Structure 1
Amino acid sequence: MGKARPGRADRRLSRPAWWFVGGYGLSAVGTGLCYPFLAIYLHQFQGLPAGETAVLLLVLAGAAVPMSVYGGALVDRRSPRAVAVGALLVQTAGWLLLAAGRGDAAQPVALLVIGVGTGLFLPAVIPIIARLSGSEEAKVRAMSMRYLLLNVGLGVGGGLGGLLLGAATDATYRWLFAADGVSCALYAVVIAVFVPLPRDADAVGSQRKTLARFRPGRGYVLLLVAQLLLVTFGMAQLESGVPLAVRTDLGGSTTLVGALYAVGTFVVLAGQLPVSRWVERVHKTRALIAMSLVWAGAWLVGYAAGAVSGGARVALLVVMMVTFALGECAYSPAFYTLVERLAPPGTLGRATGAAWATFQVGNTVGPPVAVYLISTPVPLWLVLAAAAISAAALVFAVDRLMHAPAEPDRSLTTVAA
């Protein structure tokens, strides 16, 4: 069931909200400059074996998981803006240490610091957007713009990094790491100066009570399980399972893989705002269900591509990427609006922190799962489709809980100290 179409004033972002999401895009340029090339730098320019390089990258990702949970508690205890600024300065220190560090200990310490800063920052994002938005439609629009500018920034940064590192030296990499540190510092300044937050009376008034205990309820837990499936067998597969399956199972070239990624990126950039306008008008659970089923359809198209050859196979793979990317446009505005809606006053930081930790786990587990599945007789595409359908079923259960005639499931329960 849809809702009345919101007016332009309902969707309009405030000036601080524009500063926040715009700074997010600026910081993403720095991320795109460095993250895609970290493994190359560690392996080729620092001479680390492939196994040791993988362990160091796991240190970065692994540090972000517990720190997302801890960062969520900090957000609930303090201002999310203060947490965000501090976390960005921690990231700045990590990137500058990686740029300047020498010796065997420099890389693991720097990557650990970057992971800590990333984990602390992420739980502050949705609470800041929620505090800056006057309506649910404005929240959806801000989350969509954040995701759009994130992709633009990563694309611009990755493209610049690829050009600058074409004939790279060790010094070139170090300058790029320093540039990413500067981008984090600039974003911290933007938030500190241009993103004042209105007072959250509910959170302040219930601070001692809400920090006593954090109890996830049925709806929230089901939502996180659905997210784990969508990330592990969805988003993470774009970086691992899909290129591997296209190359090994379907005989595609690396040029084809790159072209498919370009198509997907273009669709996300072109479709983010139109899809977000649709998300504004429907229940967010139903938007997430639709997204999950669209992803299932995309993976089934990928499976069908194995039954044909030549131009027909390429065409089906393009359809798969377009379909997946259109569904992806609904993820951020639908999922994080649900997280915000299910969190009672004073717990949004921890609710968001747990969601980001779940995302990090899925993103870390997804690639080895893909490698294993491709080595088995079970078609990867069918496993991915089954996971997406299972996620849709879980979100449907969340929808039933939220729209039950009895007292709504608040999904997060707090008790007095």
Structure 2
Amino acid sequence: MPFVSSHALALVAGVAIGCGQGGFLAAIVPLVNSLVTAEERRKVFARRDAVLNATLAAGSLAAGALTLVLPRGVIPYFFVANAVGILPLTLAMQIAGRHARAADEEKEKAGGGEDGPLLPMAALVRLAMPAAAVQLAVFLFGFSQFEATAPLVSERLMQMGLFVVSILLAGNVVVIVSTQRLVTRLLEGRPETDGLRIAVGLWTVGYAVAGAMAFLPYGFRLTGLLVYAVLFALGECAYSCSFHPWLISLVPDRELTRANALAGSMMGVGNFAGPSIGVALAVAGSAPVVWFGLGLCCTLITVAVGLLARGQAAKAPATAAA
């Protein structure tokens, strides 16, 4: 990236980074799953999300501070630092892969391995589509909206300073890191789909509060945004300890990489298209229109997840009888 001299080369670099991220996302969940027991899944995936948020915040803070004290010309070399920082991850993945292969060999010796041909793609899509659809929806109307639409609406339509955007992001990370363990413990005895419904339900309430406060003076508007950031963080805690365990439960272990790749691609689509939804709502020039519109979308997701949960409950007795 520091040596890019044209738009074409920048595009090539971006595609390379995107392909690498796609491969990583497809592989990391099956790898983590192979190293833990079914009882540990929720805690491990929840911890992974908390660490991810904390390190993203720390990296963003460090980069932002450096741009204040160093000349702008140094910014491209942040990419070099990023590349160097990824190298230890390669070694960690090699070590984890060795442990995963050893665990697979032990399963095969014990007769617990899942040998057999891969499912046809149509069959795999039928199994994984509920999770992929939920993944698409939560990134379209949840994560991408917090990352892109909320800063836009806060600064442009609610007359908040840019510092408020930083406060929202920082508050979001602090809540995730401090409450992730508690939320995971509260949801451990419930089906994963309950965790997903709770997550999107919290986001819906957050949108409603921000929308209602947007009519009021500055102090109330700021309070509404802070409440939204806290509720979004709590919803993210519920999502992070529920989604991947649910996905894992839907498909055989040998299909998990492909199923996770499908869900990951839906995440990419949601991140790509989600900001356009927020911008389209913001064209109305009214912050309440944006917040209540997003809240309505999240309400529809909550209903859809509830229907999926009911469908799974109906299939369970038939599966047990078979």
SS at match of 2:188: helix
Q: Does 1:249 align with 2:152?
A: no
Show the 5 A alignment for 1:35-114: 98-102=1-5, 105-114=8-17
Give 1:149 deviation, angstroms. Answer: 0.9
SS at match of 1:239: helix
Q: 1:204 to 1:99 in 2, by over 3 A?
A: farther
Q: TM-score, normalised by structure 2?
A: 0.88
Query: Sequence identity, in percent?
Result: 26
Alignment-mate amino acid for residue 350 of structure 1: R
Q: 1:123 to 1:203 in 2, by over 3 A?
A: farther
Give 1:257 deviation, angstroms. Answer: 2.2
Partners of 1:151 and 1:285 lie apart in 2 by 23
Q: Gaps spanning 5+ residues in structure 2: where?
A: none
- 1:239 aligns with one of 144, 147, 154: 147
Give 1:295 deviation, angstroms. Answer: 0.9
Give 1:359 deviation, angstroms. Answer: 0.7
- 2:21 aligns with one of 118, 129, 132: 118
Count of residues in correspondence between the two structures: 309
SS at match of 2:254: coil
- 1:176 aligns with one of 78, 83, 89: 78
Give 1:212 deviation, angstroms. Answer: 4.2
Partners of 2:187 and 2:74 lie apart in 1 by 43
Contact 2:57 2:170 in 1 (8 A): no
Q: Does 1:366 align with 2:268?
A: no
Partners of 1:293 and 1:127 lie apart in 2 by 28
Q: 1:218 to 1:212 in 2, by over 3 A?
A: closer
Show the 5 A alignment for 1:302-321: 302-321=210-229
Give 1:310 deviation, angstroms. Answer: 2.8
Give 1:389 deviation, angstroms. Answer: 1.2
- 1:156 aligns with one of 35, 58, 62: 58
Tell me the equivalent position of 1:407: 318
Contact 2:131 2:263 in 1 (8 A): no
Q: TM-score, normalised by structure 1?
A: 0.69
Alignment-mate amino acid for residue 149 of structure 2: G
Q: 1:172 to 1:211 in 2, by over 3 A?
A: farther
Give 1:284 deviation, angstroms. Answer: 0.7
Give 1:296 deviation, angstroms. Answer: 0.6
Cα shift readout 1:33-63 (whole Å, capped 9, x = no counterpart): xxxxxxxxxxxxxxxxxxxxxxxxxxxxxxx
Cα shift readout 1:116-142 (whole Å, capped 9, x = no counterpart): 111111011111111111233x11111
Tell me the equivalent position of 1:267: 175
Tell me the equivalent position of 2:307: 397
Alignment-mate amino acid for residue 389 of structure 1: T
Cα shift readout 1:245-288 (whole Å, capped 9, x = no counterpart): 12232222212222222211211111112112222221111111
Partners of 2:308 and 2:219 lie apart in 1 by 42
Contact 1:230 1:387 in 2 (8 A): no
Q: Does 1:353 align with 2:264?
A: no
Partners of 2:64 and 2:25 lie apart in 1 by 26
Partners of 2:13 and 2:113 lie apart in 1 by 35
Partners of 2:72 and 2:168 lie apart in 1 by 31
Tell me the equivalent position of 1:134: 37
- 2:132 aligns with one of 218, 224, 237: 224
Q: 1:317 to 1:103 in 2, by over 3 A?
A: closer
Name the structure with the higher helix share. Answer: 2
Q: 1:173 to 1:113 in 2, by over 3 A?
A: same
Partners of 1:245 and 1:133 lie apart in 2 by 41
Contact 2:124 2:255 in 1 (8 A): no
Give 1:105 deviation, angstroms. Answer: 4.3
The range that moved more, 327-336 or 162-171, is: 162-171
Tell me the equivalent position of 1:165: 67
Contact 1:139 1:337 in 2 (8 A): yes
Alignment-mate amino acid for residue 131 of structure 1: S
Tell me the equivalent position of 1:186: 88
Contact 1:340 1:348 in 2 (8 A): yes
Alignment-mate amino acid for residue 253 of structure 2: P
Q: 1:194 to 1:215 in 2, by over 3 A?
A: closer
Give 1:210 deviation, angstroms. Answer: 1.2
